[in-house]
A and B are shown apart, each in its own frame.
Chain A
Amino acid sequence: MAKAYTPGLTVSERTTHQVQRILPVAGKVLVEKGDTTKAQEVIAKAELPGDVYPVNLSHALSIPPSDVGECLLISTGAEIRAGDLIAQSKGIFGFFKTDYIAKTSGTLEAISEITGQIIIRGAPQPVEILSYLSGKVVEIIPNEGATIESEVAFIQGIFGIGGEAYGKIHVAVKKPGDALTPEMLTADMEGKIIIGGARMSYETIQKAIDIKAAAIISGGIDDQDMKELLGYDLGVAITGTEKIGTTVIITEGFGDIAMADKTFAMFSKFQNAEASVSGATHIRAGVMRPEILIPLNPDQSKEHSSSIHAGLLEIGRPVRMIRDPYFGKLGKVTDLPTEPQLLASGSKARVLEVEIKNGNRIIVPRANIELIEA
């Protein structure tokens, strides 16, 4: 039997998941190994060096750069408040002196007698890191952060916009093939993670923003709608910093595509459960996909029912087509010919035969399918 490997997304009902939470600069870690954390708890904080404001005193006081040191009324390291007189020119015979009043607060970091510049460093900016995942601290990275571990139900989406969000799962449709429409969203879903089935429109997401939903997740979205939502055509696929009011995640792809049965069943099972989500997506080497993490109670079944959508491609294996002309169709592998075959495009490629749901058998390039769970 011919076999091949193909990549896919992870959808796991129970898995031990770790997240590493690291400060952008060295700081203080507030938790200890073995501590239990809540998703929205601050676990580390630091102070980012303040913004830097170069000031050309030589120009400001009309003095040669070499005189800047003598005209400064403060020395390196001194604190400055906006409005302070920090430098004064010598003037002529002690008269006609020019003052320099600081426009920003901070600390005097450096003086250059070549360029006549001084560098004022602004107040440090506090930065805090949340636990993101409710769980146990299993590792401390001194001065940098910690690793949190938890038993979770774990679902990877295919694309998202917006950052980290927290809320309770609320499935708003009956079937995975149901489109998510605006009238399905009501005011009592504020702060929730709303789950749809197939396509969600611009109007639906706008409604989610209006009712202040934490996140909205469905099978697909039209790119045209996403463009309207963002106000621009998304070019480079690095997301996570958008501020549109809610985090948006699609689990399958662009267009009208139903959420995978398995994924939908998992969301339905965890109706009302607390979850952490992130829309951040980086599609380059070191792929980062959006994710939904649902921490499990210790008393919940210990049975591991992991269903990673990756592995062996073999006859009988359920697959989904991920490119036109069969985009979104589901079926089972019926043949894996080894020799490359001629496609309608004129290219030759390795293919497989798939029996789709209506019983028809189609030929698809191996590169254009994704393994799914039955």
Chain B
Amino acid sequence: MISGKPNNLEEIKVILATDCGSTTTKAILIEYVNGEYRQTYRGEAPTTVEEPVADVTAGVINAVTEVGELAGRKLVDEQGEIIRPANGNIGCDIYISTSSAGGGLQMMVAGVVREMSAASAKRAALGAGAIVMETIASNDKKLPHEQIQRIRELRPDMILIAGGTDGGTRKHVLKIAELIAPAKPRPRFGHSYKMPVIFAGNIEARSLIEETFDDSVALTMIENVRPTLEQENLAPARDEIHELFLEHVMSHAPGYQKLIEWTDTAIMPTPGAVGDILKMIAESKKINAVGVDIGGATTDVFSVFDGVFNRTVSANLGMSYSISNVCAEATMPKILRWVHVDMVERELRNRVKNKMIRPTTIPQTLESLIFEQAVAREALKLAYVQHKEFATTLKGVQQRRTIGDTFTQSGGGHTIVNNMKLDLLVASGGVLSHAPRMEQTAMMLIDSFEPEGITTLAKDSIFMMPHLGVLAQVHPKAAQEVFERDCLIPLGTCISPYGKSLKGKTCFQYEITSKTINEQGVMEFGSLKRIPLDSDESVKIKITPTRQFNMGAGYGKPVEKQIQGGTVGIILDARGRPLELPEETNERKTLIQKWVEAMDLYPSN
């Protein structure tokens, strides 16, 4: 894995990591200080994949030079290359990188049944960090020539075909291949390389698939993503996607050949790396976690529930390039329901479009900030709905029924995302990370994800999850230590029972105890309260809901837990779940105003 570099993990003391984004290349330095790994310095520079530079390594060197200057460490030699291994305050022990430059990895997937093999193929592609442009299936209600037309229009970086369990249908798999082969799909990066096509379906259909495609594509065969109906096997497909990403896509992007040679482990697509680190943390702490990264163009949602990882990317939900699409999909009345001050829709529509055409502008006025955060709530809500619809149990699994199941049996395909079981919710991306007050970040998360029970909220301090994801491949211990100490900023803990009642009725009683705090009280339905509690403080909390509400132990059943503080503290949310807002405008505005005051969200003047 690490050629010519320290083989013993303990010898690795200085780690340099970069993330080459579409617009910015971010470099971080991780050092072994006082017996633990810490992120120490950070630098950034514009990404240089476009003309006139057209060499990604120029941006990398600029960002790394900035880190080096800040750290007082010489990281780049006279030949413009990264110095390794570390010796005193010169060089680093390993260098690793992720990349989403050039629009990331864009894929098309195909399978026989949309909800089964095509869904498995989509999960494999998304898990590898790709944007899935289109899913083709036998049952997608398009006529064959329409499907072929669609394949011809798309220009993916690669295609993943699944279908059929091992030893199962060959005919239907072949039919899918017969749609793709004559369409002669062309890769995004011009004529210089053959379109990579991965077949991850019925192993007995391989020879037929080979006969169907001519040599205009680069066909590879890997293990079936759905060898049996009950089993999904995504890892081989995911590894192959990563390999082809490096071999075909990355090596054709300007300067990447050099970057590939520089790095000590394979370059990963940025979202793939973010997913890996979240998965690692969830596994090591044995918790269920959800992470979100809201960008200008896209929103990624990652989840780990009972050890099962899922990732979705909502390609047209974002806060600058895609803000207009959020408003079109959510509709303006839904966005404005989060706003407690008067705003004129015709004017707002112009503002949204102006943000879209000039994506780098920032809110100057408070009104502008309130509106953008309202848009963010709806963008996050839409992205989470898409995620829940996608993160499901396997469809098509045959289940053994007993007499007791007669009325309750559910087929496969129900969501595995369960907000009551959610332990940790992590925020990342401009609108969440750069909100002027942490309370705003916390409330955007709570209003859009609606966590239930007891949930820890955190945010990625400087968006270093991609770096740590790829570091986890090489040095899991260092990745986990930095993640816990420097990456996550704890916002606090949200307490929110499931259920609803009448306004003013009791929702729950709370008791908070520690060496320094002893507080108890009653929360009325519809109210919100913040109790400050520092990040390094821990308290015991007992919540006793009324019988209309459930905290996870059953309706009316109390729960007790040791919880941690954060920059916001404890948020007692008695607004009920699902969260509903009054239809009547004035009533709604008054209520939102109360919540704003309770959380001290915005300056009062």
A-side interface residues toward B, CB under 8 Å? 7, 49, 51-54, 65, 109-110, 112, 114-115, 117, 119, 121, 158-159, 222-224, 226-227, 232-237, 253-255, 281, 283-286, 322-325, 327, 343-349, 364-365, 367-368, 370
Answer yes or no: B361 CB below 8 A from chain A CBs. Answer: yes
Shortest CB-to-CB span from B130 to chain A, Å, is: 17
Report the bound CA distance from A7 to B351 in whole Å: 19
Instruction: Report the nearest B residue to A116, measured CB to CB.
Output: B171
Q: How far is the CB of B66 from chain A (nearest CB, A)?
A: 17
Please determine whether B361 and A368 come into contact, CB atoms closer than 8 angstroms: yes
Whether the pair B171, A346 counts as a contact (CB closer than 8 A) is no
Chain B residues near A284: list those with CB within 8 A.
Answer: 103, 297, 321
Which residues 315-357 of B sit at the A interface, judged by CB distance below 8 A?
316, 321-322, 324-325, 327-329, 346-347, 349-357
| Residue B558 is within 8 A (CB to CB) of chain A in the complex | no
Residues of B near A368 (CB, < 8 A) are 361-362, 364
Beta-carbon contact of A235 and B325 below 8 Å: yes
Q: Is B482 an interface residue (CB 8 A)?
A: no
Interface SS of chain B: helix
Contacts of B603 in A (CB 8 A): 346
> A115, A158, A365 — which one has the most chain B CB atoms within 10 A of its CB?
A115
B365 touches A237 (CB 8 A): no
User: For the complex, is B437 an interface residue (Cβ under 8 Å from A)?
Assistant: yes
The verdict on B179 contacting chain A, using a C-beta distance below 8 Å, is yes
Max count, chain B CB within 10 A of own CB: residue among A284, A285, A343, A367: A285
**Shortest Cβ distance from residue A315 to the other chain B in the assembled complex, whole angstroms:** 21
Give the shortest distance, in Å, between B435 (CB) and chain A (any CB). 8
Q: Does B247 contact A (CB under 8 A)?
A: no
Residue contacts A-B, CB under 8 angstroms, 13 given: A115-B174, A115-B178, A158-B357, A222-B349, A226-B353, A227-B349, A253-B357, A255-B347, A285-B50, A285-B103, A343-B363, A346-B366, A347-B434
Q: How far is the CB of B358 from the nearest CB of chain A, in Å?
A: 5
Q: Pick the contact of B368: A7, A65, A324 (CB < 8 A).
A: A324
- In the docked arrangement, what's the CA distance between A88 and B597, Å? 79
| B321 CB contacts on chain A under 8 angstroms | 237, 283-284
B434 contacts A223, C-beta separation under 8 Å: no
Q: Is the pair A223, B145 in contact by a Cβ cutoff of 8 Å?
A: no
Contact check, A54 vs B357: say whether CB atoms are below 8 A apart: no
Asked if A223 and B328 sit within 8 Å, CB to CB, the answer is: no
Docked complex Cα distance between A253 and B602 (Å): 29
A283 to B325, CA, bound (A): 12
Docked pose: A53 CA to B144 CA in angstroms: 7
- Do A223 and B349 touch across chains, with their CB atoms under 8 A apart? yes
Known: A51-B149, A285-B22, A345-B366. 11 other contacts (CB 8 A): A52-B144, A52-B148, A65-B171, A222-B346, A233-B327, A253-B350, A283-B356, A345-B365, A346-B437, A349-B362, A368-B362
A367 touches B362 (CB 8 A): yes
Shortest Cβ distance from residue B193 to the other chain A in the assembled complex, whole angstroms: 16
A7 and B322 alpha carbons, distance in the complex (Å): 20
- Asked if A344 and B364 make an inter-chain contact with CB atoms under 8 angstroms apart, the answer reads yes
B362 with A159: CB separation less than 8 A: no
Distance of A145 Cα from B270 Cα, bound (Å): 36
Pair A322/B149 contact, Cβ less than 8 Å: no
Which B residues lie within 8 Å of A254 (CB)?
349-351, 353-354, 357
Is B208 part of the binding interface, using a Cβ–Cβ cutoff of 8 Å?
yes
Instruction: Give the residue name and chain of the A residue nearest to B325 (CB).
Output: A235
| B316 with A119: CB separation less than 8 A | no
Cβ–Cβ contact B361 & A367, under 8 A: yes
**Contact of A236 with B362 in the complex, beta carbons under 8 Å:** no
What separation, in Å, do the CA atoms of A227 and B361 have in the docked complex? 23
In the complex where A235-B325, A235-B328 touch, is A119 in contact with B359 (Cβ < 8 A)?
no
Query: In the complex the two chains form, is B360's CB within 8 Å of A222's CB?
Result: no
Shortest CB-to-CB span from B315 to chain A, Å, is: 9
Is the beta-carbon distance between B365 and A109 smaller than 8 angstroms?
A: no
Quick check: A235 and B316 within 8 Å, CB to CB? yes
Which of B328, B347, B353, B362 has the most chain A CB within a 10 Å cutoff? Answer: B353
Q: Which residues of B contact A222 (CB under 8 A)?
A: 346, 349-350
Determine the distance from Cα of A368 to Cα of B208 in the docked complex, in whole angstroms: 58
How many positions in chain B have a CB within 8 Å of any CB in the partner chain?
56
In the complex, B575 has a CB within 8 A of chain A: no
B555 to A: closest C-beta gap in Å: 40
Is A223 a contact of B353 with CB atoms below 8 Å?
Answer: yes
B6 beta carbon closer than 8 Å to chain A: no
Q: Given contacts A53-B145, A109-B182, A114-B171, are A234 and B366 in contact (CB under 8 A)?
A: no
Interface flag for B184 (CB, 8 Å): yes
Q: What's the nearest-Cβ distance from chain B to residue A265, in Å?
A: 23
A112 to B149, CA, bound (A): 20
In the A-B complex, list the 4 residue pairs whose CB atoms are closest, starting with the nearest. A346-B436, A235-B325, A235-B328, A345-B369
Tell yes or no: B183 within 8 A of A by CB: yes
Is there an interface contact between A324 and B171, defined as CB atoms closer than 8 Å? no
CB neighbours (8 Å) of A7 from chain B are 360
Q: Mark B129-170, 1 if CB is under 8 A from A, else 0.
A: 000000000000000110011000000000000000000001
CB distance from B361 to the nearest CB of A (A): 4
With A114-B171, A222-B346, A345-B363 given, is the CB distance from A235 to B329 under 8 Å?
Answer: yes
Cβ of B175 within 8 Å of any chain A Cβ, yes or no, is yes
Interchain CB contact under 8 A, B349 and A234: no
Q: Is the CB of A234 within 8 A of B324?
A: yes
Given contacts A223-B350, A235-B325, A254-B354, contact A346 B148 (CB under 8 A): no
Establish whether residues B364 and A324, one from each chain, have CB atoms under 8 Å apart when the complex forms: yes
Q: A110-B182, A112-B178, A347-B436 are in contact. Are A322 and B358 (CB under 8 A)?
A: yes
CA distance A322 to B212 in the complex (A): 55
CB distance from A353 to the nearest CB of B (A): 14
Q: Is the pair B103, A51 in contact by a Cβ cutoff of 8 Å?
A: no
The answer to whether residues A365 and B364 also contact, given A222-B349, A224-B346, A253-B357 and a CB cut-off of 8 A, is yes
Please tell me which one of the listed residues A224, A232, A323, A347 contacts residue B349 in the complex, with CB atoms under 8 A apart.
A224
Assess whether B145 is in contact with A52, with CB atoms less than 8 Å apart: yes
Q: B103 and A345: CB pair below 8 A?
A: no
Report whether A364 and B329 are in contact in the complex, using a CB–CB cutoff of 8 Å: no
Task: State whether A54 touches B144 (Cβ < 8 A).
Answer: yes
User: CA A224 – CA B352 in complex, angstroms?
Assistant: 11
Cα separation A49 to B602 with both chains bound (whole Å)? 60
Complex contacts, A110 vs chain B, CB 8 Å: 178, 182
Nearest CB of chain B from residue A316's CB, rounded to whole Å: 23
Instruction: Write out the residue numbers on chain B whose beta carbons fall within 8 Å of the beta carbon of A114.
Output: 170-171, 174, 208
B364/A322 in contact, CB under 8 A: no
Chain A hits for B327, CB < 8 A: 233, 235
- Chain B contacts of A236 at CB under 8 A? 316, 322, 324-325
Write out the residue numbers on chain B whose beta carbons fall within 8 Å of the beta carbon of A347. 362-363, 369, 434, 436
B residues within 8 A CB of A349? 362
- The answer to whether B145 touches A324 (Cβ under 8 A) is no
Distance A349 CA – B434 CA, assembled complex (angstroms)? 11
CA distance A49 to B357 in the complex (A): 36
Least Cβ–Cβ distance between B488 and chain A, in angstroms = 22
Give the distance in Å from the alpha carbon of A121 to the alpha carbon of B349 in the complex: 46
Q: Tell me how far the C-beta of B52 lies from the nearest C-beta in chain A, rounded to whole angstroms.
A: 14
Q: Are A346 and B350 in contact (CB under 8 A)?
A: no
Min CB gap A40→B, angstroms: 26
Shortest Cβ distance from residue B17 to the other chain A in the assembled complex, whole angstroms? 22
Closest to A53 in B: B145
- How far is it, in angstroms, between the C-alpha of A235 and the C-alpha of B329 when the chains are bound? 8
Asked if B520 lies at the interface with its beta carbon under 8 angstroms from chain A, I say no
- Point out which of B346, B349, B355 has the most chain A C-beta atoms below 10 A from its C-beta: B349
Closest chain A CB from B573 CB (angstroms): 23
Chain B residues lying within 8 Å of A226, measured Cβ to Cβ, are 353
Distance between Cα atoms of A364 and B362 in the complex (Å): 10
Asked if residues A346 and B602 are in contact (CB atoms below 8 Å), the reply is yes
**Residue B396 at the A interface, CB < 8 A?**
no
Query: Given the complex, which residues of A lie within 8 Å of B87, measured CB to CB?
Result: none
Contact indicator B365/A344 (Cβ below 8 Å): yes
Q: Residue among B50, B324, B329 with the most chain A CB within 10 A?
A: B324
Q: Which residue of B lies closest to A65 (CB)?
A: B171
- Asked if B102 is at the interface of the complex by the 8 Å CB criterion, the answer is yes
State which of A51, A109, A344, A346 has its C-beta within 8 Å of the C-beta of B145.
A51
